[in-house]
Amino acid sequence: MNEKSSKPSWLARLRAGLKQSSEKLADGIADAFRKRKLDAAALEELEELLISADIGAAASSRLVAEFGKNRFGKEVTSEEVRRALSEAIAALLKPCAVPLEIDPAKKPFVILMVGVNGGGKTTTIGKMAQHYREQRLKVMMAACDTFRAAATHQLHIWAERTGCPVVMGEPGSDAAALAYKALEQARAAQADVLLIDTAGRLQNKTDLMNELAKISRVLKKLDLEAPHATLLVLDATTGQNAHSQVEIFREMTGVTGLVLTKLDGSAKGGVVVALAEKYGLPIHAIGVGERAGDLRSFAAEDFARSLLGLEAE
């Protein structure tokens, strides 16, 4: 999800999307470091600022320790602080910046999408469908969130928009049976990719856990390796609450990667750094808007510079 031809406009949207987060950090750094000697108090102030930007205690401590290693006792400017932090954040994020690769040997490549309701899961599926269609892949979708009529309706709209078939069931029907039917149809149609939407009701965690486990179990009756990827979609505006969602969904199903949405409406963009530091899961894509082109592969350096309000080099 990273076409070079549209990279400048994507970077501009990324910087604009992270503006709330970057202004918070840049203003705080500017206030704290107007050519100031780097002492213990300055480092503590910087760490508190990073924590307040949702970068998390562990990641903030690590970044500040790295920054202070060779600069302690020296005068530093706010620009130097931002550039050094950007480089350190990019280095921390780089191992997690892994694009999702569709293995052509696994046909269809089954992607199970999980996450809480309202996190942008169904919209993300639609955007991914369009992206893969643009790569000339044959894509099918399955509306296995059978409890939310709005989710099925949303996928139907994306199906019309992208020209991708969507397998739907009756409201309240068995999600696992529908997933099985969708995989059968995708195999018969020789589809390259099958995107499966799922419910995200956390009110009754046990029911949801059983449902997701059952979906995976019935898919394996047709393909022992399915699902080939299980992506957790997280709403960046939830900030530190994203951690509990990772914990819950990792417990429920084998999450293989993350997609972060709604970074354009958040002052909590730093949570991406916190998640990378704590879990080390691949971050396949980030979203900074409603259009299909606003979901792209995660690039560590672009993100880090945008988070600190720095221009691309």
182-199 confidence digits (pLDDT tens): 999 999 999 999 999 999
At 213, is the pLDDT very low, low, confident or very high (cuts 50, 70, 90)?
very high
| Identity at 197, one-letter amino acid code | D
How do residues 135-157 score in pLDDT, each as one tens digit? Answer: 999 999 999 999 888 889 999 99
Hey, which residues does 295 pair with through a beta bridge? 287
313: confidence class by pLDDT, cuts 50, 70, 90: low
pTM higher than the cut 0.85: yes
What pLDDT score was predicted for residue 6? 46
Closest by CA to 249, choosing from 105, 115, 56, 151, is: 115
**Would you call 260 helix, strand, or coil by DSSP?**
strand
Segment 24-47 mean pLDDT: 89
Nearest to 271 by CA among 66, 24, 55: 55
68's tokens:
């202070």
Task: Give me the pLDDT at residue 1, please.
Answer: 60
